[in-house]
Amino acid sequence: MTSEQVVPRRGRGRPRAADAGDSRERILAAASAEFSRHGYEAVSLRSVARAASVDAALVHHYFEDKADLFTQAIGMPLRPDRVVKTVLSGPREDVGANLLRAILGGFEEPGFRDRVLGLLRTALGHEFAAAMLRQFLVKEVLHRVAIELAVPDGELRATLTASQMIGLVVLRYGIRAEPLASVPLDELVVRVGPVIQWHLLGFPEAKGP
């Protein structure tokens, strides 16, 4: 009597070892195109799977959820959903400081800083990169914070906040204008946090002409 060798079956959606790298890169490429073309909300893991010509279970195998896929597709080491949760976890009066620290804290790491500055440079000349930056910073972080705060003109407040933060990032980490480039992060949060707070929650007492 001969014994048969039992070959373990691969779970549904799991790739062969030889195909794993290629499948993951194909999914990321498809996700980048889908997010750029349709925006975050209109894209699903299933639609990315269709675009990449893979089974939806394979997308779930590589990526925890849509936020995880989005973050990796645009090359950002920060997940937008977690940034929003962190910012809103403290008192309402600390939202500006928390947001500034959550975003700028990443720039203190060279890998994060180089990646985002590269995306900023590319965004100035290429719509694909500009769309990705809008999705990450304005749509998925700042606009969601404004919505959760239930303030009027949330979209305008989000873009005003973005203008403040991007200008700060460019001067501090890109151009490295002194003494701004050397100011400790804690001091920067104390000085600029109230400005971010005003953009998100403040309102002019008197209207201009």
Asked if 200 and 161 count as a contact pair (C-beta separation under 8 A), the reply is yes
Window from 15-24, 70-79, 100-109, 115-124 with minimum mean pLDDT? 15-24
Average pLDDT over residues 135-139: 77
The predicted pLDDT at position 135 comes to 73
Output helix, strand, coil percentages for the chain, rounded to the nearest 5. 70, 0, 30
Average pLDDT over residues 134-142: 80
Backbone φ, ψ for residue 149 (5° rounding): -80, -10
**Amino acid identity of 44?**
S
**Amino acid identity of 145?**
V
Is residue 205 pLDDT above 70, yes or no? no
Question: Alpha carbon of 59 to those of 42, 166, 200: distances in Å?
Answer: 17, 32, 36
Please tell me the distance from the alpha carbon of residue 72 to that of residue 52, in angstroms, as a whole number: 15
Residue 190: half-sphere exposure toward Cβ, Cα within 13 Å: 5
83: left (phi over 0), alpha (psi -120 to 50) or beta: alpha
For the whole model, what pTM was predicted?
A: 0.67
Residue 119: half-sphere exposure toward Cβ, Cα within 13 Å: 22
The predicted pLDDT at position 23 comes to 87
**Amino acid identity of 137?**
L
The predicted pLDDT at position 191 comes to 95
- Domains and their CATH numbers in the chain: 17-73 (1.10.10.60), 80-201 (1.10.357.10)
Average pLDDT over residues 4-10: 42
| DSSP conformation class of 8 | P
The predicted pLDDT at position 48 comes to 93
Nearest to 192 by CA among 103, 113, 92, 120: 103
Q: pLDDT tens-digit profile of 141-166?
A: 888 888 888 888 888 998 999 999 88
CB atoms within 10 A of CB 41: 10
pLDDT category at 118 given cuts 50, 70, 90 is confident
Q: pLDDT tens-digit profile of 10-48?
A: 445 555 544 556 889 999 999 888 877 777 777 899 999
Q: pLDDT tens-digit profile of 172-197?
A: 999 999 999 999 999 999 999 999 99
